[in-house]
Amino acid sequence: MTSADIRQKFLDFFASKGHHIVPSAPIVVKNDPTLLFTNAGMNQFKDYFLGNRQPPYRRVADTQKCLRVSGKHNDLEEVGVDTYHHTMFEMLGNWSFGDYFKREAIEWSWELLTEVYGIPKDRLYATVFEGDAAEGLPASSIALDVWRRILPAGQIVFGNKKDNFWEMGDTGPCGPCSEIHVDCRPDAERAQTPGHLLVNKDHPQVIEIWNNVFIQYNRLKDGRLEPLASTHVDTGMGLERLVRVLQGKSSNYDTDLFTGTIAATEAMTGKTYSGGDGRQDVAFRVISDHIRAIAFTIADGQLPSNNGAGYVIRRILRRAVRYYYSWLDCREPLLCRLMPQLAGQFRDVFPELQAQLDFVSRVVREEEESFLRTLEKGLRKMDDILQRSEPGSAIDGPAAFELYDTYGFPIDLTRLIASEHGHSVDEQGFEREMKGQKDRSRAATATDTEDWVVVSDEATAGQVFVGYEQLQAPARLLRHRRVRAKGRDFHQLILDRTPFYAESGGQTGDQGWIRFGEVRVEVTDTRKENGLTIHVVPELPDGLVTEAEAFVDTERRREVAAHHTATHLLHAALRQVLGTHVAQKGSMVQPGGLRFDFSHFAHPRDA
Ligand code: SER
């Protein structure tokens, strides 16, 4: 069976059990503050489990692109060193939203593995949650009951909270789980050491392939477990491992999910992959793994960048570059040239990569070129640092920070190279340097704000904006305060209603003046703070009265409005000319002109 056949059989099997087949959610998570990336098939269904939304179907199945490189589930350090962890992997899953529960989930997983895929029954082991007194959680007696009817006692293993209670992150839906492990060792070895002794012991040939989670609780911020109104099933089977077992390989990288990229890398570098533990072989594995994470994440809309999810992708990419540079003697961008092979391989299941092949390849090429420009100097710097370090000592914080700041070495890359030479990194020292730099730039822009002087208190203070229709309006002064920033004093005023447009979405705040009886106060800027419109005035003359009249500088506003319209036109034109991936990254709309920042994979001169 090819990997494509194996994936399809899973989906067909669950379709035959009344499941609706749904597409993978994007690998990049946009609307969940607890996650950067999809780290499990169940992420996209979290709201169904919590009862916040009604599912359109009670049973679904899919293959989900997952990434485990940050947060609670992080396998990055293992990837390439061993043969069965990955950054990006496919998780085959079947779900019940308040429908079937433990019995059906377990029986179907057994039927699929043994009858459809034909895995010998005596090579399979099931784990069952033993309970946890501190959390007040009972042992999984139902799961145990079901397994006892299927398997001899010697193939059932009890597991503690670490192995048999699954949680997505620090908070969220969770519950006890029952995993299925497979023993792929030769018969002679199996006769010597029974497989149940090797379950969950990091043995490369006795591996977990499927996790059946029984979602029953919600982990709250304060650490408590809250029982859910209904119970659900969340299962996840790693496709790469399943394929390895069914194709009779001892390494995921020997399956048809990876051999195509490895062969292409061999052809491009003139090196040979031999499946061993040497650095060259690790490099082949790292590249064939990392390229999937990089390609699919960019195809799903996350460009490499300097922070957040974008930085995670940049780190993975730089790690791959360093591996081919140092161990495959490759000095040119390589990953971007492997993209066509990868896109072709996944054309039927994840067509988004093929559809954006040109775009993704160019983004990756730009990234590789830019890191290759500093990598050599950075590696030389690293050599200097290593040479002057005592054997076994830690690379100090300032050195690690210089590698980061000047040569673009993510800290995990510095850690990796240091460990290859028997050194560690003073990570706290590195963090201190980082923080020092942030503090310095913050101090440069520090402001000192006095308390508001309340002239008159009203519930709608500063929230009524009349400036779409009027550029001049009567108003009442409600509060004012003094602010000192960058060594200069100014004042801020809040009115009960205002025609002044506060800076937002890149459009500059209005200017104008406010008349208090005979006194005229110039407004140099208008800003928003916690929903309040704040008028910035350089001077606050004595003898202010409450009643006022506010005047926006109409000529200035007219020019700003024209540039705002022009910004939208420009954005539309860019999308037409360069493509719909062009996303607004920032804009500044002012009376004298506009600036529009956008993401695109090449410098304008190359576009
Ligand atoms: N949520 C579980 C896991 O990720 C099963 O899908 O392992």
292-335, pLDDT tens digit by residue? 999 999 999 888 988 888 899 999 999 999 999 999 999 999 99
Is the shortest distance between the CB of 213 and ligand 1 below 6 Å?
Answer: yes
- pLDDT at site 301: 85
Would you give the DSSP letter of residue 113? I
Beta-carbon contacts of residue 384 (< 8 Å; ≥ 6 apart): none
Is the shortest distance between the CB of 90 and ligand 1 below 6 Å?
Answer: no
Question: Which ligand 1 atom is nearest residue 93's CA?
Answer: 6
| Three-state SS annotation for 221-272 | CCCCEEEEEEEEEEEEEEHHHHHHHHCCCCCHHHCCCCHHHHHHHHHHHCCC
| Cα dihedral: 339, 344, 349, 350 (round 10) | 30
In the reported structure, the alpha carbon of residue 7 is separated from the centroid of ligand 1 by a whole-number distance in angstroms of 17
Task: Count the Cβ atoms, other than its own, within 10 Å of residue 482.
Answer: 14
The dihedral built from the CA positions of residue 174, 59, 34 and 241, taken in this order, carries a sign that is positive
Task: Using alpha carbons, select from 208, 228, 232, 230 the residue that is nearest to residue 218.
Answer: 228
Is the shortest distance between the CB of 41 and ligand 1 below 6 Å?
Answer: yes
**Across 387-408, average pLDDT:** 92
Convert the pLDDT of each residue in 431-468 to its tens digit.
999 898 888 767 766 677 788 888 876 765 557 899 99
Task: Using alpha carbons, select from 79, 83, 82 the residue that is nearest to residue 294.
Answer: 79
Is the shortest distance between the CB of 289 and ligand 1 below 6 Å?
Answer: no
The protein residue whose alpha carbon is closest to atom 3 in ligand 1 is 236
Convert the pLDDT of each residue in 148-183 to its tens digit.
999 999 999 999 999 999 998 888 899 999 999 999
CATH topology of domain 3-253: BirA Bifunctional Protein; domain 2 (3.30.930)
φ/ψ of residue 344, rounded to 5: -65, -40
Residue carrying the six token digits 């490759």:
330
- Which of left, alpha, beta for 543 (phi over 0: left; psi -120 to 50: alpha)? left
Strand pairing class (20-21; 59-67): parallel
Task: Provide the terminal-to-terminal Cα distance of the chain, rounded to the nearest Å.
Answer: 43
Query: CA angle at residue 430 from 429 to 436, to 5 degrees?
Result: 90
Report how far apart, in Å, the C-alpha atoms of 440 and of each of 94, 165, 378, 433, 444 are: 51, 44, 25, 11, 6
Q: Which amino acid, one-letter code, is at 562?
A: A
b/e string for 349-370 if b means 16 or more Cβ within 10 A?
bbebbbebbebbbbbbbbbbeb
**Across 386-404, average pLDDT:** 93
Q: For the chain, how long is the longest CA-to-CA vector? A: 101
What are the E-state strand segments in 97-164? 124-129, 156-159
Convert the pLDDT of each residue in 210-240 to its tens digit.
999 999 999 998 899 999 999 999 999 999 9
CATH topology identical between 3-253 and 448-552: no
- pLDDT at site 606: 46
* Best mutation site among 73, 213, 214 for ligand 1 pocket (most ligand atoms within 8 Å of CB): 213
Q: Is the CB of residue 452 less than 8 Å from the CB of residue 479?
A: yes
b/e string for 7-27 if b means 16 or more Cβ within 10 A?
bebbbebbeeeebeebebbbb
Task: Count the Cβ atoms, other than its own, within 10 Å of residue 307.
Answer: 8
Question: Which ligand 1 atom is nearest residue 73's CA?
Answer: 4
Is the shortest distance between the CB of 176 and ligand 1 below 6 Å?
Answer: no
Q: Is the CB of residue 499 less than 8 Å from the CB of residue 471?
A: yes
In the reported structure, the alpha carbon of residue 174 is separated from the centroid of ligand 1 by a whole-number distance in angstroms of 10
Per-residue pLDDT at 604 exceeds 70: no
d(CA 582, CA 579): 6
Is the shortest distance between the CB of 195 and ligand 1 below 6 Å?
Answer: no
Per-residue pLDDT at 407 exceeds 80: yes
Task: Using alpha carbons, select from 423, 316, 424, 329 the residue that is nearest to residue 371.
Answer: 316
The protein residue whose alpha carbon is closest to atom 6 in ligand 1 is 236
Question: Which ligand 1 atom is nearest residue 212's CA?
Answer: 5
Is the shortest distance between the CB of 211 and ligand 1 below 6 Å?
Answer: yes
Residue carrying the six token digits 């919600």:
218
Task: Using alpha carbons, select from 361, 423, 363, 416 the residue that is nearest to residue 391.
Answer: 423
Strand pairing class (532-537; 547-552): unpaired
- pLDDT at site 605: 46
Domain ranges of the chain: 3-253, 258-360, 448-552, 560-606
The protein residue whose alpha carbon is closest to atom 2 in ligand 1 is 236
* Best mutation site among 14, 45, 234 for ligand 1 pocket (most ligand atoms within 8 Å of CB): 234
In the reported structure, the alpha carbon of residue 234 is separated from the centroid of ligand 1 by a whole-number distance in angstroms of 6
Is the shortest distance between the CB of 166 and ligand 1 below 6 Å?
Answer: yes
Is the shortest distance between the CB of 98 and ligand 1 below 6 Å?
Answer: no
448-552, which class in CATH? mainly beta
Q: Is the CB of residue 139 less than 8 Å from the CB of residue 128?
A: yes
Helix (H) or strand (E) holding 93: strand 88-96
* Best mutation site among 24, 75, 94, 211 for ligand 1 pocket (most ligand atoms within 8 Å of CB): 211
In the reported structure, the alpha carbon of residue 17 is separated from the centroid of ligand 1 by a whole-number distance in angstroms of 20
- pLDDT at site 461: 59
- pLDDT at site 578: 85
d(CA 46, CA 19): 18
The token duo for 263 is: 């062969």
| Cα dihedral: 363, 369, 370, 376 (round 10) | 150
CA atoms within 13 A on the CB side of 221: 1
The protein residue whose alpha carbon is closest to atom 4 in ligand 1 is 40
SS3 call for 504: strand
SS3 call for 170: coil
SS3 call for 437: helix
Would you give the DSSP letter of residue 600? -
What are the E-state strand segments in 366-518? 394-395, 424-425, 447-449, 453-454, 464-465, 472-485, 488-495, 497-498, 512-516
Percent of the chain with pLDDT over 90: 76
Is the shortest distance between the CB of 175 and ligand 1 below 6 Å?
Answer: no
Average pLDDT along the chain: 92
Convert the pLDDT of each residue in 540-585 to its tens digit.
888 778 899 999 999 999 999 999 999 999 999 998 888 877 777 7
Question: Which ligand 1 atom is nearest residue 40's CA?
Answer: 4
Question: Which ligand 1 atom is nearest residue 91's CA?
Answer: 6
Least-confidence region, from 372-376, 495-499, 521-525, 527-531: 527-531
